[in-house]
């Protein structure tokens, strides 16, 4: 035994988040994930319940990482006003998604919510983050809504590559958003 199955699963999930983030659920062959994880395709199918099971597990890992980052951000602003805590969470999130994998994975997941298991995974992820923001920051509904609205705006900015566009409309959309 070179490794335990559980350790392998972690490796595979990291590879899966990256691979799915780039090319999405349907256009990412399991062989690509297996290759990135350094194991055979057959073993990936033994570790996870089909490609769908792999994707759902990867979604869990993705939201785990996001939640952890936001919680860490909140920690630093503990005791401040809701507005300041939200700000700290936003900064922590912005730093986390600098590598784009976690952001793009969310986009990809939202695009395949016609598959019920994935829709449920997405809901579970946002449920976790949203309730945490609501409770921990003590933010009201409008603040929570704004937090997520501008988070979603980042998805557009990154997928459309608006940071590279210097036209006025693009500058307006990206204004104040952390430039990489």
- Contacting residues toward a copy of itself, per CB under 8 A: 22-24, 26-27, 107-108, 110-114, 119, 122-123, 126-127, 130-131, 134, 141-142, 144-146, 148-150, 152-153, 155-156, 159-162, 165, 167-173, 175-176
Place of tokens 């933010």: 139
First-to-last C-alpha distance (Å) of the chain: 42
In whole angstroms, what is the distance from residue 34 CA to residue 30 CA? Answer: 6
**From the CB of residue 116, how many other CB atoms can be counted at a distance below 10 Å?**
8
- Residue among 30, 85, 139, 162 that touches DNA (CB under 7 A): 30
Residue number, 94 or 107, with CB nearest to a copy of itself: 107
Which of residues 20, 51, 121, 157 is near DNA by CB under 7 A? 51
107 binds, among DNA, a copy of itself, none (CB under 5 to 8 A by kind): a copy of itself
Beta-carbon neighbour count of residue 164 at 10 Å?
8
CB of 125 to DNA, least distance (A): 22
Nearest-CA neighbor of 108 among 149, 159, 150? Answer: 159
Nearest residue (CB) to a copy of itself, 77 versus 144: 144
Other residues' Cβ atoms within 10 Å of the Cβ of residue 124: 14
Reduced to 3 DSSP states, what percent helix, strand and coil does the chain have, rounded to the nearest 5?
80, 0, 20
Least separation in angstroms between CB 6 and a copy of itself: 30
Check binding of 123 to DNA (CB under 7 A).
no
C-alpha to C-alpha distance for 172 and 166, rounded to whole angstroms = 10
Binding region for DNA (CB under 7 A) out of 36-44, 61-69, 128-136, 154-162: 36-44
Radius of gyration of the chain measured on its C-alpha atoms: 18
* Shortest distance in whole angstroms from residue 96 CB to a copy of itself: 18
Applying CB under 7 A, the residues found at the interface with DNA are: 1-6, 8, 27-31, 39-43, 45-46, 50-52
């Amino acid at each position: 035994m070179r490794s335990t199955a559980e350790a392998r699963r972690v490796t595979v999930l990291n590879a899966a988040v990256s691979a799915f983030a780039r090319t999405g659920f349907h256009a990412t062959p399991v062989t690509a994930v297996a290759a990135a994880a350094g194991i055979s395709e057959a073993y990936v199918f033994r570790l996870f319940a089909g490609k769908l099971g792999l994707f759902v597990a990867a979604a869990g890992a993705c939201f785990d990482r996001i939640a952890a980052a936001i919680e860490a951000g909140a920690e630093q602003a503990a005791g401040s006003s809701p507005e300041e805590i939200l700000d700290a969470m936003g900064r922590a999130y912005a730093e986390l998604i600098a590598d784009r994998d976690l952001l793009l994975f969310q986009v990809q997941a939202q695009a395949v919510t016609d598959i019920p298991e994935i829709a449920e995974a997405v809901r579970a992820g946002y449920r976790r983050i949203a309730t945490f923001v609501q409770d921990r920051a003590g933010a009201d509904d409008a603040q929570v809504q704004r937090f997520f609205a501008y988070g979603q705006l980042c998805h557009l900015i990154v997928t459309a590559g608006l940071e590279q566009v210097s036209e006025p409309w693009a500058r307006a959309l990206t204004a104040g958003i952390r430039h990489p």
